[in-house]
Chain A
Amino acid sequence: MAEPLIPRPDGPAESADHPEPAATAPVLEISGLDVRYGQSHVLQGVDLIVNRRPLSLIGRNGMGKSTLCNAITGLVPAFGGSVKLHGHELVGLKPHEIARSGIGYVPQGRRVFASLSVEEHLRMVARRGGGGWTIKKIYELFPSLQARRRNGGTQLSGGEQQMLAIARALLLNPRLLIMDEPSEGLAPIVVEHMIGTLHNLAREGVALLLVEQNLGVATSVSERIAIMVTGTIALETTSAELASDEATQRRYLGVSTHIERIDTPAAPAPST
């Protein structure tokens, strides 16, 4: 199940310690982003930069993580501030324009389409011609989707729905992938598989903003970690620091138990 997921691109893989210069150039620059739902001021001046090295955003329930994702993708209107993709202002654009400018979104709860089969999902998004992701490559990445290609979106297991949500975002050939709690409700072995996929995507040069509640997943996917508290970025740190700093964990995440990094093969677990 945890086989390599994406054919590695040609050429030597860069080491995390010596990234090529472009890896740290900003892909997404969020500054002073404000979002309100009526009277409640849910995002209060969010500043965050995403480059080509994966970034995890963590924080407790209701802190505004999903709202940030929805504001970036244009699904909720920004009240103020700026979001730039490769220097291009996104605030004020329609969601479909933002998606076309290179952002793939894997939302919380997957949101696969109930009345479309797996194959219809993929063919709907796949563009003819051009390079990049094709349905064939998607099926190589997620063989179980191919096996269930005639099944409806909601007839899939949680893990398969997650694969489908990732697959349809990838078919847009995004420059930035935003994933909101992809590990939610998945069995450990499926999560491990997904982490492998994310590593490979990052290696292919796709920038990744990962929202997680599961600190173990966040620290195994990314070196950089941002913590959100009531609508602002309270702290930016590294996986290593956060993993060893229980006081910070307790303070911002309300966790006091030992957090295990999920980077070694887990014990066999029931797959979803």
Chain B
Amino acid sequence: MPKALVDLLTVVLNGVTLAALYFVVASGFTLIFGLMRTTNMAHGSLYMLGAYVGVSAYDATGNWLAALVIGFAALAVVGGAIHLGLLSRMAGQDLRQALVTIGLSIIIGDLLLAKYGGLTYQIAPPAFAAGSVAIPFVVNGTYSAYRLFMIGAAVAVYGSLWLVLNRTRIGWYIRAGIDDRDMLSALGVNVSRVFLFVFALGAGLAGLSGVIGATALSISPSEDGRYLLSSLVVVIVGGMGSLEGAVIGALIIGLSEQIGLFYAPTYSIFITFVIMAAVLAIRPQGLLGRPA
């Protein structure tokens, strides 16, 4: 196979696996910001907190899956507390929510810096996704098993969220509550509890994605901004609240970042934002978003 093609296929595979990570990170943001319209500028910090919780949990247990579950559960609890204590008291007030969550992300960042210092940590991949897999059409003929596993993880997260939102009572509550909160409460549903659940689930997914990301790449202070930004772009390009949109948004960002990095490294970030600007110029509601 010609080298140029092998290079391209490798870059595409890198882009897709990065997109998988971006999707998993953004999935919680899709729930909290896209669907529930809560402006949570601390999403990147929740990712980072989840990653560090994962690091500690992995140290303690030596079990990757245990670290994943603990990262999810711990952040679900943290998210629930943030929602109950702060954000549910300022429902619909975007600016206040933005300020409070930016403050929160500074606090979380400093606390993590105090506890873990400026070092870079990485979690070892689980045995079932360690090493590399032979793939004929990529550079060197092998590819990281863990990065392939991330695609599976993204598909699993997508599938689970789709099932919850479309096939369960709580999913109908979530969608109906977003359409018309008062009307849903007049049908006997405790909407505050539904929204608490959504926020906890979204934060839990941020924690879970932190563990997955800290295994794929690494975790160090000040990575919160990067993942908040990628999540914002994914949700806005894909369309607020659309799960399918988030998949497409993540693919666009992941691919453009990797293709840019390989063919035009200087312009890599630039390309991402040109795409975002172009999408928003043509479809202000995002690719699969409903017009407001």
Contacts of A99 in B (CB 8 A): 185-188
Contacts of A111 in B (CB 8 A): 180, 183
How near does chain A come to B173, taking the closest CB pair, in angstroms? 7
Q: Does B191 lie at the interface of the complex (its beta carbon under 8 Å from any beta carbon of A)?
A: yes
Which residue on B lies nearest to A115, using beta carbons? B175
Taking a contact as CB atoms under 8 Å apart, the answer to whether A113 and B183 are in contact is: yes
Q: Does B7 lie at the interface of the complex (its beta carbon under 8 Å from any beta carbon of A)?
A: no
User: Knowing that A94-B185, A95-B185 are A-B contacts, what are 17 other residue pairs whose CB atoms are under 8 Å apart, sorted by A's residue number?
Assistant: A75-B186, A95-B182, A95-B186, A96-B189, A99-B186, A99-B188, A107-B183, A113-B179, A115-B175, A115-B179, A116-B172, A116-B176, A120-B172, A123-B169, A124-B176, A124-B187, A125-B187
Taking a contact as CB atoms under 8 Å apart, the answer to whether A105 and B186 are in contact is: yes
Q: How far is the CA of A125 from the CA of B182 in the complex (A)?
A: 15
Q: How far is the CA of A141 from the CA of B136 in the complex (A)?
A: 62
Contacts of A95 in B (CB 8 A): 182, 185-186
Which residue on B lies nearest to A174, using beta carbons? B188
How near does chain B come to A173, taking the closest CB pair, in angstroms? 10
Which residue on A lies nearest to B189, using beta carbons? A96
Q: Which of A67-114 contact B (CB under 8 A)?
A: 73-75, 94-96, 98-100, 105, 107, 111, 113-114
Q: Does B190 lie at the interface of the complex (its beta carbon under 8 Å from any beta carbon of A)?
A: yes
Size class of the contact patch on chain B: 10 to 19
Partner of A114 from B179, B184, B187, B190 at Cβ < 8 Å: B179
Which residue on A lies nearest to B175, using beta carbons? A115
Size class of the contact patch on chain A: 20 to 34
Contacts of B176 in A (CB 8 A): 113, 115-116, 121, 124
Taking a contact as CB atoms under 8 Å apart, the answer to whether A116 and B175 are in contact is: yes
Q: How far is the CA of A74 from the CA of B186 in the complex (A)?
A: 8
Contacts of B189 in A (CB 8 A): 96
Partner of B186 from A107, A123, A124 at Cβ < 8 Å: A107
Q: Does B8 lie at the interface of the complex (its beta carbon under 8 Å from any beta carbon of A)?
A: no
Q: Does A52 lie at the interface of the complex (its beta carbon under 8 Å from any beta carbon of B)?
A: no
Q: How far is the CA of A95 from the CA of B169 in the complex (A)?
A: 19
Which residue on B lies nearest to A127, using beta carbons? B188
Q: Which of B160-204 contact A (CB under 8 A)?
A: 169, 172-173, 175-176, 178-180, 182-191
How near does chain B come to A195, taking the closest CB pair, in angstroms? 23
Interface centre among A94, A96, A169, by most B CB within 10 Å?
A96
Q: How far is the CA of A172 from the CA of B185 in the complex (A)?
A: 12
Q: Does A168 lie at the interface of the complex (its beta carbon under 8 Å from any beta carbon of B)?
A: yes
Q: How far is the CA of A124 from the CA of B165 in the complex (A)?
A: 12
